Chain A
Amino acid sequence: EVQLQESGPGLVKPSQSLSLTCSVTGYSITSNYWGWIRKFPGNKMEWMGYISYSGSTSYNPSLKSRISITRDTSKNQFFLQLNSVTTEDTATYYCARYGQGFDYWGQGVMVTVSS
């Protein structure tokens, strides 16, 4: 069974970088696409970007140059880095596999940006 698990700090200070890890079991990240999606307080959902089976990436232009998604195929993990965070980046962050749509999701990690 495909399983995804996010990990990372739950509190980040403004202007610093947010770094999260998604660990995948039951499926290789060298197949399909693997993405990050966040849900803001109040239900709004935002696709942040994804990394493909080959390592190419696509990002939401709203995040401009602040975002980077990378991977470690030896550990079957992929990563999110979001730079220069503000309080507006406070959200629950999910990693997910893109198959028929985003069909497998992690349980999510809540990240608060606050000094």
Chain B
Amino acid sequence: DIVLTQAPLSVSVTPGESASISCRSSKSLLSSKGITSLYWYLQKPGKSPQLLIYRMSNLASGVPDRFSGSGSETDFTLKISKVETEDVGVYYCAQFLEYPYTFGAGTKLELK
């Protein structure tokens, strides 16, 4: 199985500042079609997970452009610029390149 390692597991951020979350894959997530199958989700308290970023760097519909995704074939970063109170929750990376699909362990973002 592809293992996704997230870091840090928790982060505390002052509103208005930036935050970055790392996700490292045990295998390249670049497909033969040139698509990098790495996705980012946010699960806010008491809510279902919501898609933030698809295919490594594409912003999902309705997601503020404060969120951005970048990376290579195995190392990925989610950046949140100017963190707001509504950004609190657990962030997950996920790979949908090959079965079984897998998720990272999650990064809890809190406000200072």
A105 is contacted by which of B49, B58, B60, B96 (Cβ under 8 Å)?
Answer: B49
Q: Please report the C-alpha to C-alpha distance between residue A87 and residue B99 in the assembled complex, in whole angstroms.
A: 25
> B26 on the interface (CB 8 Å rule)?
no
Chain A 87-113: CB-based contact to B (< 8 A → 1; otherwise 0):
000000010001011110111100000
> Residue on B with the closest CB to A49?
B100
Our count of residue pairs bridging A and B at CB distance below 8 angstroms stands at 52
Chain B count of residues within 8 A CB distance of the other chain: 22
Report chain A residues within 8 Å CB of B58. Answer: 100
CB of A45 to closest CB in B, whole Å: 4
> Residue on B with the closest CB to A95?
B48
CB of A10 to closest CB in B, whole Å: 16
Q: Please report the C-alpha to C-alpha distance between residue A105 and residue B41 in the assembled complex, in whole angstroms.
A: 11
Binds B, one of A15-23, A24-32, A56-64, A75-83: A56-64
Contact (A60, B51) CB under 8 Å given A43-B105, A45-B92, A100-B60: no
Report chain B residues within 8 Å CB of A61. Answer: 99-100
Contact (A101, B39) CB under 8 Å given A60-B99, A61-B100: yes
CB of A37 to closest CB in B, whole Å: 8
